[in-house]
Amino acid sequence: MPYLVLIRHGESKWNALEAWTGLTDISLDEKGRKVARKDGEFLGHLNFDRAYVSALRRAQQTLDEIKVVLGREDLETVKSAALNERDYGDLTGKNKWELKKKYGEEQFLKWRRSWNYPVPNGETLKDVYLRVYPYYKKHIFPDLKAGKNVLVVAHGNSLRALVKYLENIPDDKIPNLEISIGQIYLYQINSEGQVISKNILTPR
């Protein structure tokens, strides 16, 4: 039964500053590269047939580090903006904790974790879901159905959207889901698209 592995990219320079990054194309910092290499070590027992990655640099750099550790620089890779991070609109570049202090925890959590609460000039998680799950169904799931092991490297919110789809998480429960930087979700998926097993790995 094939594996689907989801990885959130390593720490970026803006992650380190606690700034909302969104679609800003920021590179990994050295800590982020180290976590990515650790991810690769965790996955050394798996042989991947294809990788999917967002169009943003921090995800691609994470995948590059993983490929080196696995000795799989030749791994076929598909890049797609459908897997990009959520567009945080007018919040992009602003410090999360300063905004929380200014607007209060309730407003902050609505912006950060809610399903369909808008940020000014940006996307909701629902908007992200509506680009991620069709892409998964059209491109990624056919690989799994064909018995291929697939690696997906993307972002906190694009992966939250995909996990919501895979696990059928209700809208009102999705605020409770957080995927940490560098965290690995390891699934086995059957030919009907159902999750048969799940394991979460967090490199330190």
Q: What dihedral angle (degrees, nearest 10) is formed by the CA atoms of 123, 125, 130, 132? A: 110
Q: Give the three-class secondary structure for 69.
A: helix
Binding-site residue ranges for substrate:
8-15, 21-22, 58, 85-88, 96, 112-113, 156-157
By C-alpha distance, which of 6, 60, 64, 65 is closest to 35? Answer: 65
Residue 67: closest CA among 200, 59, 83: 59
- Show binding-site residues: 8-15, 21-22, 58, 85-88, 96, 112-113, 156-157
**Any catalytic annotation for residue 9?**
yes
Catalytic residue among 65, 85, 123, 155: 85
Compute the distance between CA of residue 82 and CA of residue 204 in angstroms, rounded to an integer. 29
Question: Is 85 annotated in the active site?
Answer: yes
Measured torsion, CA atoms of residues 28, 159, 137, 68, in degrees rounded to the nearest 10: 30
SS3 assignment, position 102: helix
Q: Which listed residue (9, 65, 123, 155) is catalytic?
A: 9
Active-site residue set: 9, 85
